[in-house]
Amino acid sequence: MTVHQRDWQAFVTPGKDGAVHMDLAVDGITCAACMGDIERGLKRLPGIRTARVNLTSQRLAVDWVEDQTGADEIVAELTRLGYKAHPFDPASQKDRQDRTGKELLRSLAVAGFAGMNIMLLSVSVWSGNATGIEPETRDFFHWLSALIALPTVAYAGRPFFRSAFRALASGRLNMDVPIMIGVVLAVALSVVQTVQHQHHAYFESAVMLLFFLLVGRYLDHNMRGRTRSFAENIAALKAEVAARILPDGSVREVPLSKVSAGDLVLVSAGERVPVDGVVETGMSEIDQSLVTGESILVAVDRGQRVYAGTLNGSGSLQVRVEAASGATLLDEVNRLLEAASQAKSKYVRIADRAARLYAPLVHGAAGLTFLGWLLAGMEWQPALVIAISVLIITCPCALGLAVPAVQVVASGQLFRRGVLLNTGDAIERMADIDTILFDKTGTLTLADPELCSPFDLQDPVVRLAGRLALASRHPLSTALVRATGAITPLPEVKEVPGAGLETMVEGATLRLGSPQFCGASAEQIEDALREVPGASLLAIRFGDGPVQLLPFRQSLRPDARAVIDRLKAEGYALEIVSGDTEPSVAGCAEALGIAHWQAGMKPAQKIVRLEDLQQSGHKVLMVGDGLNDAPALAGAHVSLSPVSAVHLSQAAADAVFLGDRLQPVADALRLSKRARAAIEQNLWISGLYNVIAVPVAVAGFVTPLMAAVAMSASSLIVTANALKLRWGEGRPETGAGPAHLPAEKAEG
Amino acid sequence: MDVLIYLIPIAFFLGALGLGAFLWSLKSGQFDDLEGAKWRILDDDDLPDD
């Protein structure tokens, strides 16, 4: 949409043999036909080496020879084919290869293949023990098992060992510490048993344990990777770029990561301001609702500060990029954000809480077993064998799967309902909530203003004004165009920056713009504002006729009332904290039936209100989108943010919801409660398993066969219990999965 | 039981072969897009364009 050139060098990365590589997020790939269309269409361009669509992540990777085709031609060809595409900023996409995921999958494969081979040998030994195997053969099989198991544990156990050492180094206990101790002891004990020609070795237990735990880890990682890559696609399709003005005066569009403090950036009319900075030249009106929560446009002039995420109105601005300094809103938000996120990091995940309880208990039981058998007159070595078998049987196989299995299933369900999780433990925290704080602008309401009084569509003056509005990209003009459905623009439109539009129709002047520009009286403005409190006014005047005032306001999300009613019925305490003016917040609260509301809140006041509630024992869910909500989002027990929010808020929130409806908020709460219940059941199941297994182990009756069966059975039960979450949850009511509704609202 | 001397190395070799094949397929990107692959078999891009 922008007229200036894009600096393609900033988006492509060099590939092999003089070729270049570019990754694009492509919107609207839904089926195999799209995939074929895009790949075949691109291959017709000269110089294209490979064009490959990834249907899972909805991305396109293109390699081509640079001097034969330009990147802009590729994007143009995609547009011609009917797909909106935008290249990724290479800097924002560091993890293209997904190293962690591949390492986990490799470890999983090694553990799986090793486990199968060892199990073959073990089954032979177990049946041989019953039927009279020769000791030499058994020793041989045990040595072979050791040969496979030792390198496998060293290789496939690395993710756990690393995490356990990190936890121990910082003086904490997590689930990986007992896992590491259990696995290492099991292998060490088995080697000792093998050397001593004993009947039993536990190699297969150690490897199988790693296999099951790696399954849990991999699922967990995949869940996060999927939501993250989806969020990256949305960010790329929002076209987070800046138009940098070079010293020679030419303008190049570059990714945000290539803009630094001191650069001059051009912000055209109707665009979002990409950076924080000071206006160097130009004047305009700015919609700051994403930053301050106020829905009224603010006039900006030379020397004034503008913030990333705000929407520029009618004039174009040159903005000098600034690293934040001094007492600005952004600094305050950053400071509050830091303080708030520190407070929140105190939350301990359920799995880690279980580990804190579990590790001392199990190790204590093993120690007592050892002492008990010694006191009962046993030699120290067999007593040690029994103690270690207690550790093996209690090794947290089911416990390691209990939480990730549920999180994977629940996050998949949430994903289908348009909720993307930033953090896995958000589900646990969301289940505790009893109070919900809503921001108003952009959260309860939609981000774009809408005409909110009845008007006569047949009125020729309004229709003319709609056509006149096509000439401007001012937010109110675009709203008027939407309302009137105008298509043909009027000729010879003159734009008066910061005031309005003017043209001649049939010899008379038609004006559209601020009430002052059209000559509206102060009384008339007052009357209009009394009728629709907190509205932005757009005035029309045709010739010497009367001035018509059209009030605009962000309208409520279509299902807001229904969702709020349901949340109230479910017993949540609801409250609105908004930065907007009192009349408009009051109107919104009344329309939704929310009794508690506060208007004109600054970021710090929102935090104070939040802390008051949390100190009186409430668990608060914060739902907000603006920069002014970011600290509250970070400080709340758990937080949600709509996809239209500013980047900082999305990053501070625990989850992001898509689309125009408020329903995902209610869905997220309901699903989290079920998921939380499933997590607790799973923990009880693994607890119960231990209650049965430990006495058997303490008594010294545990054989490797029992360990293998108990381990697999408990893991399967826990996984099945997690899958239960999917039952009774059909497709979401409105059909469309997140794949179909992203980013339509992206460009304000 | 002397046959074990031949059979066990053969079993190991086959196991290692399977593991190697999997690691190779992982490395060559065959697990990157699990959605698209099932549709690509229907794609006649080996035929010339009409």
Question: What are chain A's domains?
Answer: 1-87 (3.30.70.100), 408-445+556-672 (3.40.50.1000), 448-555 (3.40.1110.10)
Structural domain count of chain B: 1
Could you give phi then psi for residue A427, rounded to 5 degrees?
-60, -45
Task: Give the closest residue to A536 by CA, choosing from A496, A584, A578.
Answer: A584
The Cα–Cα gap between A63 and A48 comes to: 6
Neighbour count for residue A657 (Cβ, 10 Å): 24
What pLDDT was estimated at residue A424?
A: 73
Specify if B8 maps to a domain: yes
Specify if B18 maps to a domain: yes
Is residue A113 within 8 angstroms of chain B, CB to CB? Answer: yes
What pLDDT was estimated at residue A738?
A: 43
CB pairs under 8 A between A and B: 56
Question: Would you state the structure tokens that stand for residue A164, as one six-digit string?
Answer: 């356990």
Residue contact A56–B34, C-beta within 8 A: yes
What pLDDT was estimated at residue A740?
A: 39
What pLDDT was estimated at residue A244?
A: 83
Mean pLDDT, residues B42-48 taken together: 66
**SS3 label, residue A117:** helix
Q: Can you give A96-116 as a three-state secondary structure string?
A: CCCHHHHHHHHHHHHHHHHHH
Mutate which of A34, A48, A53 to disrupt the B interface (most B C-beta within 10 Å)?
A: A53
Is residue A31 within 8 angstroms of chain B, CB to CB? Answer: yes
What pLDDT was estimated at residue A393?
A: 79
Is residue A97 within 8 angstroms of chain B, CB to CB? Answer: no
The Cα–Cα gap between A270 and A311 comes to: 7
Amino acid at A652: A
The Cα–Cα gap between A118 and B11 comes to: 11
- How far from A593 is each of A268, A438, A514, A563, A575, CA to CA, in Å? 40, 13, 33, 11, 10
Contact criterion met (CB below 8 Å) for A618 and A589? no
The Cα–Cα gap between A311 and A287 comes to: 5
Q: Chain A closest CA to B23's CA: distance in Å?
A: 7
Confidence of residue B49 (pLDDT cuts 50, 70, 90): low
Nearest chain A residue to B2, by CA: A137
Amino acid at A388: I
Contact criterion met (CB below 8 Å) for A553 and A537? no
Specify if B47 maps to a domain: no
The Cα–Cα gap between A568 and A669 comes to: 13
Which ranges of chain A have pLDDT less than 70? 1-5, 89-98, 227-228, 231, 235-240, 290, 293, 295, 323-332, 341-348, 395-397, 497-498, 728-748
What pLDDT was estimated at residue A111?
A: 94
Task: Give the closest residue to A306 by CA, choosing from A281, A339, A340.
Answer: A281
Specify if B45 maps to a domain: no
The Cα–Cα gap between A137 and A26 comes to: 60
The Cα–Cα gap between A603 and A228 comes to: 27
Residue contact A137–B4, C-beta within 8 A: yes
Specify if B50 maps to a domain: no
What pLDDT was estimated at residue A745?
A: 36
Specify if B15 maps to a domain: yes
ipTM over the 0.85 cut-off: no
Residues of B in contact with A116 (CB under 8 A): 15
Give the residues across from A62 on adjacent strands.
A22, A51
Q: Chain A closest CA to B45's CA: distance in Å?
A: 8
| Interface residues from chain B to A (CB-CB < 8 Å) | 1, 4, 8, 11-12, 15-16, 18-19, 22-23, 26, 31-36, 39-40, 42-43, 45, 49
CA A35 to chain centre: 26
Specify if B14 maps to a domain: yes
Nearest chain B residue to A133, by CA: B1
Range of the domain at B30: 4-40
